[in-house]
Amino acid sequence: MMKITDLAACGLLASSLLGTTVQAAPATGSALRDYRAVALSANGQRIAAIESNKAGEQAQRPHAAIVVRDAANGAIVQQFDPCTVCSYDKPSWSPDGKQLAFVGYDAKAGTAQLYLATLSQTPVRTLTSIKGVASTARWSPDGKQLAVLATVGARKLAGAVEAGARQVGEVGSEDDAQRIAVVPASGGELRLLSPNDTYVYEYSWTPDGRGFVATSAQGNGDSNWWVAKLSHIDAATGALRVIASPAMQLNLPSVSPDGKTVVFIGGLMSDFGSIGGDIYTVPLAGGTPRNVTQDYRGTFNGVVWRGARLLATALIDSQLALVPVDAQTGPAQPVLLGEISSSGSDGRLSFSADGSQAAAAQEDFTHASYLVAGPVAQLKKITRDNDGFAPQLTVQNVGWNNEQYKVQGWLLGPLKTDAGKRYPMIVNVHGGPGAAASPRYVAASTLIHELTQKGYFVFLPNPRGSFGQGQAFTRANMADFGGGDWRDILSGIDAVQKVAPVDGERLGLIGHSYGGFMTMWGVTHSDRFKAAVAGAGVSNWISYYGQNGINQWMIPFFGASAYDNPAVYRKASPIESIKAAKTPTLIYVGERDVETPAAQSLEFWHGLRAMGVPSSLFIYDGEGHSFRKPEHQRDLQKRTVGWFERYLK
């Protein structure tokens, strides 16, 4: 459902409570450096990343550039910025490490350019231009071709969290098709390759350069990722062959160096990009996928072939870990990397060709983003641009047991508290449910910083349905939304009250997407909360089934469609219990939200008003599931803080 999910990976609206939306510099006026899409060259000597500075209350998101650094010491070697009005997609190193390919997108013109940059040379070359959107440049193994994912004539940005196209004319007759396209590395005509009725989500070249392994589905790309198949696409003809059609969500497919085996991460996932599951292998020729990490007590979020072995990353309880995996015998002992968030081109890290070196951008709740690089088990910090940013709050890892499950969460609080004084607490439920609240630096002027400055604690639980405890835990709330997951959250609040000076009579509840649903559920199933903020939630699963643009996601989570088993949908609908609502609730949603249409928020608001419950509904003009406009982000923060100040103080 609902991407604002993996808070370790997303800097979007639902993670705003974690301080990743309206980032601003501290009082010193220095700029906060942001690193994204970190890619390590094959020889491990250079790092490329998308970098930008955020200083003060900038009206717009800062423009970024492609920056190349020395992996040994972090020194900037070169910088590429061929389009000052473009946003850049992740850079891709040529096999020889001498060139970078990347896509720039000009939103105003609605065009994308594939750029080629050569180290120590200028200017950057434009290989091809696309009327539409494009992403994910990848070099062929011999370095003679480049491939991209291209949507020619795109009606919207790629991804279900983006604002939807206007629903006028014959609905469903003009679905966007994101296709693999190739162009010679010397430049020339872009050739659309994969079938024009198929949406390709991600892909990688086969080692012989004669084809691609991909995740793909026919029809609407926003909706059909949940039923995507593992496929092979011929690089000469574009012919598509299905390798496997497992009843799970698939991510990060790649082929072994001998060209015989495909690896991917498979599991119950809430949205494309929220990666979490077990590691599976299947013959490239086709067959039944085999789980090589069966019953692992963690959630895998990255995997890549390096020689005959696999290097993977996983969230194990609260810690990110590097996990070597033998494709036959399974995982080896993990190397724990810490209670951090990490990102790189191979999932959570980026690896050299031989797998001996790695690089990534990392951060936690009290340390702003920095680059690390070095031997895979001895990564060292190589940038210090953000060392001047001090911790803005306190952090406590809270664990508890509920029923048969071990559960984990984070408690964030003010830097200083007074002895004997008790403080209000806001419970923030992450999106998903397949995701996890993970450490992100909380900068000054963000929502969570403002709340803790005003004397609030903020609790980020990871109840059943979340990542981090293995697939059995992630699947434990299937067809039970608002059941065991809600009991885990209530139990977590009790656990927090035993270790922190929290006033149980002044509790608030907030969430976006699945978290927005859980907020609606909470205020109709508990009197413990004195104020709530429900973002992009679902109030009525029956009506939602026919309104949303991604209803394929619901089958894995509910077990059947709303037409085949309406009882399970009604059971989980907050509107069915609206008469129990008493909590003052602020509701917000994007006008063009594909994932959770505004009608759901409107329906819940009508119900609260009918019950005489203080409520407010704000629909943000032109926004999708993820809010993109800084002025809307700031307005939402102001409304949210004002709501809690009004009802919790």
Write down the pLDDT at residue 164: 61
Residue 460 pairs in a beta bridge with 410
Mean pLDDT of the 176-190 span: 94
What is the C-alpha separation between 371 and 346, in angstroms, rounded? 15
Instruction: Name which of 542, 549, 553, 407 is nearest 478 in CA terms.
Output: 553
Q: What is the pTM of this model?
A: 0.94
Write down the pLDDT at residue 189: 87
What is the C-alpha separation between 361 and 340, in angstroms, rounded? 10
Q: How confident is the model at residue 160 (pLDDT cuts 50, 70, 90)?
A: low
What is the C-alpha separation between 365 and 341, in angstroms, rounded? 9
Question: How many helical (H) and strand (E) elements, i.e. helices and strands, does the chain have?
Answer: 9, 38
pLDDT single digits (tens) 497-532: 999 999 999 999 999 999 999 999 999 999 999 999
Tell me the DSSP string of 53-85.
EE-SS-SSPPP-EEEEEETTT--EEEEE-S-TT
pLDDT single digits (tens) 327-372: 999 999 999 999 999 999 998 999 999 999 999 999 999 999 999 9
Radius of gyration of the chain (CA): 23
Residue 149 has pLDDT above 60, yes or no: yes
Write down the pLDDT at residue 377: 84
Write down the pLDDT at residue 158: 67
Write down the pLDDT at residue 156: 65
Residue 257 has pLDDT above 90, yes or no: yes
Angle at the Cα of 175 from the Cα atoms of 433 and 229, rounded to 5 degrees: 55
By mean pLDDT, which of 49-58, 121-130, 207-216, 332-341 is the weakest?
Answer: 49-58
Q: How confident is the model at residue 445 (pLDDT cuts 50, 70, 90)?
A: confident
Is residue 104 within 8 A of residue 115, CB to CB? The reply is yes
Is residue 510 within 8 A of residue 428, CB to CB? The reply is yes
Is residue 195 within 8 A of residue 240, CB to CB? The reply is yes
Q: How confident is the model at residue 28 (pLDDT cuts 50, 70, 90)?
A: very low
Write down the pLDDT at residue 510: 98
**Cα dihedral across residues 493, 497, 499, 502: positive or negative:** positive
Q: How confident is the model at residue 8 (pLDDT cuts 50, 70, 90)?
A: very low
DSSP 8-state class, residue 154: -
Is residue 532 within 8 A of residue 582, CB to CB? The reply is no
pLDDT single digits (tens) 150-159: 999 877 676 6
What is the C-alpha separation between 535 and 522, in angstroms, rounded? 13
Residue 2 has pLDDT above 80, yes or no: no
What is Dmax (Cα atoms) for the chain?
A: 73
By mean pLDDT, which of 2-11, 113-122, 193-202 is the weakest?
Answer: 2-11
What is the C-alpha separation between 411 and 174, in angstroms, rounded? 46
Residue 57 has pLDDT above 70, yes or no: no
299 class by beta-carbon count within 10 Å (0-12 exposed, 13-18 middle, 19+ buried): buried
Write down the pLDDT at residue 166: 67
**Cα dihedral across residues 464, 467, 468, 470: positive or negative:** positive
What is the C-alpha separation between 346 and 265, in angstroms, rounded? 12
At residue 123, φ and ψ (nearest 5 deg) are -85, 180
Q: How confident is the model at residue 16 (pLDDT cuts 50, 70, 90)?
A: very low
The secondary element (H helix, E strand) that includes residue 397 is: strand 394-402
Write down the pLDDT at residue 6: 31
pLDDT single digits (tens) 603-618: 999 999 999 999 999 9
Kindly compute the dihedral angle of the four CA atoms of residues 251, 549, 434, 563, in this order, to the nearest 10 degrees.
-110
* Half-sphere exposure (Cβ direction) of 453: Cα atoms closer than 13 Å: 12
Q: How confident is the model at residue 5 (pLDDT cuts 50, 70, 90)?
A: very low
Write down the pLDDT at residue 144: 97
Residue 14 has pLDDT above 70, yes or no: no
Cα 432 to Cα 206, 251, 268, 288, 306, distances in angstroms: 32, 16, 10, 28, 31
Query: What share of the chain in percent tops pLDDT 70?
Result: 93
Report the phi/psi class of residue 37: left, alpha or beta, with left for phi > 0 and alpha for psi in -120 to 50: left
Write down the pLDDT at residue 154: 79
What is the C-alpha separation between 22 and 157, in angstroms, rounded? 22
Residues 6+ apart with CB under 8 A from 164: 156, 222, 549, 592, 593, 594, 624
